[in-house]
Structure 1
């Protein structure tokens, strides 16, 4: 884990005073946080943010006037935008939140340990790289199941499968359903070596061992885990050329056809 050398300056935004007081209290209790600013609505928050010096915003969604999603959209245009964590009672806005580049999405009622995870993620993102076992810029996807949050690093994902408006992240040990469409992950993870090979599949190119013909189509072969059989995923015609070009250009493997 990266060593945290500097504390964070954060802004808590919520139009309900009790909720704002609780959020600010929990943030002040975190050792990673040095100073907590507060705002009771988004317009005041925007004025504070325009003054600079704030590392992260913990932001409610439903507020009068400018709502949290609209404020996050404005922050994306900042030269150096703060990290954004949504803290909300709405469990159906995660897709929009992650499309806006949110670092995390924390559901109310607040749980101290869940908020602590969000703070740690921001601190690690902003800590200087040390050459340890973390991957620089490695995005982490929070997965909620039965009240337990699991943080899934992007670097552990082998491929992603579309499931309606959701996506299923496949790792070496499990699969996780998240409320994020495949198209969003395709654009967000393109620079991290992920490529769309089919309308239903996004793959990590460094884990591709080759492609081969099956009937009139192609499949992409994923590196096996242990003694398990290799996973083969279909490749659509429209994605074939880009896949071959990327594999040929890349240093990780060649493609074969038989």
Structure 2
């Protein structure tokens, strides 16, 4: 593997200052480290929009939309003009323009797309968020801008799409790319990356369950997949360093009407711009 391609399959590293701070707090108090880890877990990184996404950004009709269920606001992007609409949902620390290459191809075959900066992402206000907010945003956007022919989600966006379908989102097709699966695994992995003891993972899960009044694992993607009857295309890279390929394989196993596409060497983000992935995605939505 070349140095350039290796970058696409390399996991994001947590800054040393955060690792050191986490370890210090963990020695002081279990309650404090739980609150500190929860803050980190729910705070996305806001990246500057890259040049490659500027065209979609310039050519989109953008508006700030209220999501009453969570008391937050999001920036929505309407791209193209067609009654055949596809909803695009980015992942953690992503943006509404991140799936621009998929959006461009959909426009070419007669669709328009609608995407959004999730709470605390991109141009949307706020500093913290969680998957519950993503799902509530999807359901509210369907009310205001739907119906949608299909929904496409990347990473956390894929998990959110499946959970939104479980909660009533009506689409004919769904595509999930590099989607996470079991919530407990995601929390365990996060705690491991912080180089903290596994007991912190349990404390963090219990913290969220107390806050939201629900079992965190009830949001696992495979459980939503179990209840999903529509055709769903699951795309995952064998070398994804952020979300292991076993997540995609497991989700597919539980779908009633699923299709699985595994790729090699595309990692977690480059996969969104791969021509074969985009072609398969568009054809799937067109039922070709």
TM-score, structure 2 normalization: 0.31
Q: Which has the higher helix share?
A: 2
TM-score, structure 1 normalization: 0.34
Q: Which of these two proteins has the greater Rg computed from alpha carbons?
A: 1
Q: Which has the higher strand share?
A: 1
Q: Which has the higher contact order (CA 8 A, sep 6+)?
A: 2
